[in-house]
Amino acid sequence: MNQSATASKPILSGLMRYRVMAWLAGIGLLLLCLDMYLRYVQDMTTVLDLVPRVHGFVYMLYLVTVFDLSFRMKWPLSKGVLVCLAGTVPFVSFVAEHRITGQVRAELGQS
């Protein structure tokens, strides 16, 4: 294994953690929106009542993985904050994950 591949291994592992958490946070946010709709519009209680607590925990882990990746990639603080905010808008975390993955792989010279 060459030195650049060895140096990129921690970045790739950080990227994988970020990707997993971006998907979990995005799915959790969609479930949270569904829960809020059912709770406040339809006045129903469902098994989704646990979703807000779980989503809050997952989002905190998402923030940790974003900052981990941003430090590894030496991003400006503004980029890290924007990626963090991507997890607060339904569907945007999926778009951000796709773009960030492409950018990181391009910077590392991977396809």
What pTM was estimated for this model as a whole?
0.88
**Amino acid, single-letter form, for residue 32:** L
Residue 72 φ/ψ, nearest 5 degrees: -65, -35
111 residues of the chain, pLDDT tens digit each = 444 556 689 999 999 999 999 999 999 999 999 989 988 899 888 777 788 899 999 999 999 999 999 999 999 999 999 999 999 999 999 999 999 999 999 998 875
Ramachandran class of 74: left when φ > 0, alpha when ψ lies in -120 to 50, beta otherwise: left
What digits encode the pLDDT tens for the residues 88-109?
999 999 999 999 999 999 998 8
Report the 3 state secondary structure along 3-43: HHHHHHHHHHHHHHHHHHHHHHHHHHHHHHHHHHHHHHHCC
